[in-house]
Structure 1
Amino acid sequence: MFNFGLDFFPVCDPGKTSGEQYFQESLKLAAEGERLGFTSVKTIEHHATDYGGYSPNPLLFLCAAAQRTTAMKLITGCVVPAFWHPVKLAGELAMADALCQGRLEVGFARGFLPHEFELFERGLGTERALRFREAIDLIKKFWSNESVHFAGDYYQIEGTTVYPPMARMPNIWIAATHTANSFKWAGAEGYGLLLVPYVSDFEDLRAKIDIYRRAYTEAGHGEPNKITFTMHACVHADRDKAIALAREPLERYLRAFVGTGAFKPEEYQAFQDTVIREIKALTYERIIEEKRSLIGTPEEVVETLHYYREFFGALDFSLGFNFGDMPYGQALESMNVFSEHVIQPYAVV
């Protein structure tokens, strides 16, 4: 009925959790996750804040995870093409796929944090979407393993072949949140969707998913079944215990997100007025009440999963168990409970 993967989004206090500790514990969770029935590992790209900044290059973690697993898909969730040159990104993704023995799947994101675009000297306006799509088109041409000639608005390539050769075209995923045109474009191209429902209005998100599905079908790609929801998870037999365990880690995660708005707020007021305002209004109580996470007893989690299936048509979930400095032992215990009471009875076989 469902597919379940693991999501790793580091929001860590360096005084509490070092980089070495976070990654060693996360790699152990990934290895345990395969044994417990999780089918994928996904991680992100962010820079220069505690909101994901431990993971400036997701490929490093995924390649390490590939050495500790045998069958799990390894997914960039996501890389941001605006912060890479397409020659470098295409080549490094092909190298990562070889190291992962063909298990790599590639999620791309436009990016949205103002400080990152300023650090990499990239524009946040119309350029963001246009550069994003052009870079993906160019990267796919490199993965044809032929000499590429490309004359775009942002990149010009003359007779270049990227190595190592890409063994096959990987599954491509697109992170989408607010813009209906992004959903339509992803569907028309036949890409999968990576969604983070805790930041979305559910009715609006469902309408955009419908746009995606129509575009996917009308473009002749078949059944639009490549939609993954990324959610925080904390599962315990005692509901109050689950809610108490997850509160501080999730509130820390939200504080780190809000903190990204402190970068030149006078220059990026629109970011403050939209994204940051929405996150400030998203209390822990709302997340629990409105089913924006999988926090609670196994029975409650199963109920929420069925709600997502009925409301969104969702079947695939990428779950973060060690979010916001969640202790390793508690994350692993939650994964075990989830495996016993949710994966084993309800996962796709």
Structure 2
Amino acid sequence: MEYGISFFPSVGPDDKPAPQYYDEAFQLAEKADELGFAYARAIEHYFCAYGGYSPDPITFLTAIAARTKNIRLITAATIPAFTHPIKLAGKLAMLDNISHGRLDVGFGRAFLPQEFEAFEIPLEESRRRFDEGVRACRLLLSQDEVEFSGEFHRFGPVRLLPKPVQQPCPPFYVAAASSAESYEKAGRDGYFLQTALAVSSLEKTQEMLRVYRQAWADGGHRPGAERIQISMPFFLADDDETARKAGEYDHHKTSSNMLEAVSEWQRVSSTQYVGYDKIAESVRRTSFDDLVAQNKILAGGPDTVRKQLEILAETLGDDLSIALVPHSGNLDPAVPTRALELFSESVLPKLSHS
């Protein structure tokens, strides 16, 4: 298994000034690079404390690129529906050059109604805009000259500059939640996968990954070349009690912010997002202790977290990449820094699958 870190801010101006959050996150990314973690990821969200300090993951990752040497930089995920493909592809190509070829690109559909409304994009167009945006970006990044005619964008012929360092283009990931169709399509199209345990049971995730791996094989892609990233909240300390105390506090703050963000689903519906009106109910009825017991949150001392990871490897496969989410901004930055150090010193060396 491979391990990286993922940044998902869950703070707003009433909690912490944005410059302070960014400084803390960049220092943590430097520590992760120093300790040999594989990558740093960043999300895209708008307007509220649930992710709102990260409206542009590419800008965020560019700052990390300037402060690090080896760690890969991953969007998790950038939203093609909200940016013209020429603009998005240009920003991605520029980051790949600035980082000397360290970029991986993750694409997502977005799911918050207020974001779609602000960009004046109907929820019902979500899937079609996603598919078209990913396709257009791949062409722009991998071909010398592109003429494109889609449902939402028509342009060309154009020649993107700069071309990415990685040829024909950086690795592409797509995000999937709980739909078997999304997993199957990602595998069939030959894209790498990003998902999160928080949205499904361990058993359902196991089944969805089976669907993805089978679709990858059926699509004729190179056997064993698929990549799967799973993001997980991460609270590691010298002992279980300290870790769980920090985790419970952070979970409470993040859940409260998420409830505010998803409240819009109570007034809207979409055939593209069946069941999303039940997100708030699911968040309310699931406790921190439940999520730790279900191995959806990593929390404890080194031995406890190591056992959790062994279960995940046994259940979901030891070829996974775990994106640890150590810093939402709600804890003193010394807490996630210590967690990364402990992971490197006391967890990773003892894992049977490392």
TM-score by length of structure 2 reads: 0.93
CA contact (8 A) 1:229 1:317 kept: yes
Which one of 315, 318, 323 corresponds to residue 318 of structure 1? Answer: 323
The one-letter code of the counterpart of 1:246 is G
Indicate how the Cα distance of structure 1 residues 272 and 184 shifts in structure 2: closer, same or farther if over 3 A, else same: closer
Q: What is the count of residue pairs matched by the alignment?
A: 347
- CA–CA separation in structure 2 for the residues paired with 1:45 and 1:242: 28
Which one of 260, 282, 289 corresponds to residue 285 of structure 1? Answer: 289
Q: Report the CA distance between 1:174 and its aligned residue.
A: 0.9
- CA–CA separation in structure 2 for the residues paired with 1:264 and 1:277: 11
Residue 166 of structure 1 corresponds to 164
Q: Deviations over 1:240-268 (max 9, x none)?
A: 11111111111111111111133373234
Within a 5 Å distance, the mapping from 1:144-293 to structure 2 comes to 144-167=142-165, 168=167, 169-221=169-221, 222-263=223-264, 265-268=266-269, 273-293=277-297
Q: Report the CA distance between 1:324 and its aligned residue.
A: 4.7
Q: Deviations over 1:305-336 (max 9, x none)?
A: 11111111143111111125121011111111
Gaps of 5+ in 1: none
The one-letter code of the counterpart of 2:231 is T
Indicate how the Cα distance of structure 1 residues 310 and 56 shifts in structure 2: closer, same or farther if over 3 A, else same: same
Indicate how the Cα distance of structure 1 residues 279 and 224 shifts in structure 2: closer, same or farther if over 3 A, else same: farther
Q: Report the CA distance between 1:297 and its aligned residue.
A: 1.4
The one-letter code of the counterpart of 1:191 is Y
- CA–CA separation in structure 2 for the residues paired with 1:272 and 1:185: 21
- CA–CA separation in structure 2 for the residues paired with 1:119 and 1:11: 20
Gaps of 5+ in 2: none
Q: Deviations over 1:16-37 (max 9, x none)?
A: 3111111111111111111222
- CA–CA separation in structure 1 for the residues paired with 2:217 and 2:172: 17
The one-letter code of the counterpart of 2:98 is L
Residue 327 of structure 1 corresponds to 332
Indicate how the Cα distance of structure 1 residues 253 and 347 shifts in structure 2: closer, same or farther if over 3 A, else same: farther
CA contact (8 A) 2:188 2:218 kept: yes
- CA–CA separation in structure 1 for the residues paired with 2:15 and 2:277: 32
Other structure's SS at 1:79 match: coil
- CA–CA separation in structure 1 for the residues paired with 2:216 and 2:352: 25
Residue 9 of structure 1 corresponds to 8
Residue 53 of structure 1 corresponds to 52
Q: Report the CA distance between 1:348 and its aligned residue.
A: 7.8
- CA–CA separation in structure 2 for the residues paired with 1:52 and 1:158: 34
Q: Deviations over 1:1-58 (max 9, x none)?
A: x211011111113233111111111111111111222110001000111110000000
Q: Deviations over 1:256-307 (max 9, x none)?
A: 1111133373234976632222222221121122111110111111111111
Residue 311 of structure 2 corresponds to 307
Indicate how the Cα distance of structure 1 residues 218 and 271 shifts in structure 2: closer, same or farther if over 3 A, else same: closer
CA contact (8 A) 2:4 2:37 kept: yes
The one-letter code of the counterpart of 1:5 is G
CA contact (8 A) 1:193 1:227 kept: yes
Residue 115 of structure 1 corresponds to 114
- CA–CA separation in structure 2 for the residues paired with 1:273 and 1:85: 29
CA contact (8 A) 1:3 1:347 kept: no
CA contact (8 A) 2:202 2:294 kept: no
CA contact (8 A) 2:310 2:352 kept: no
Q: Deviations over 1:136-162 (max 9, x none)?
A: 111111112422112212221231222
- CA–CA separation in structure 2 for the residues paired with 1:272 and 1:317: 25
Q: RMSD of the alignment, in Å?
A: 1.8
CA contact (8 A) 2:12 2:18 kept: no
CA contact (8 A) 1:5 1:319 kept: yes
Other structure's SS at 1:327 match: coil
The one-letter code of the counterpart of 1:216 is W
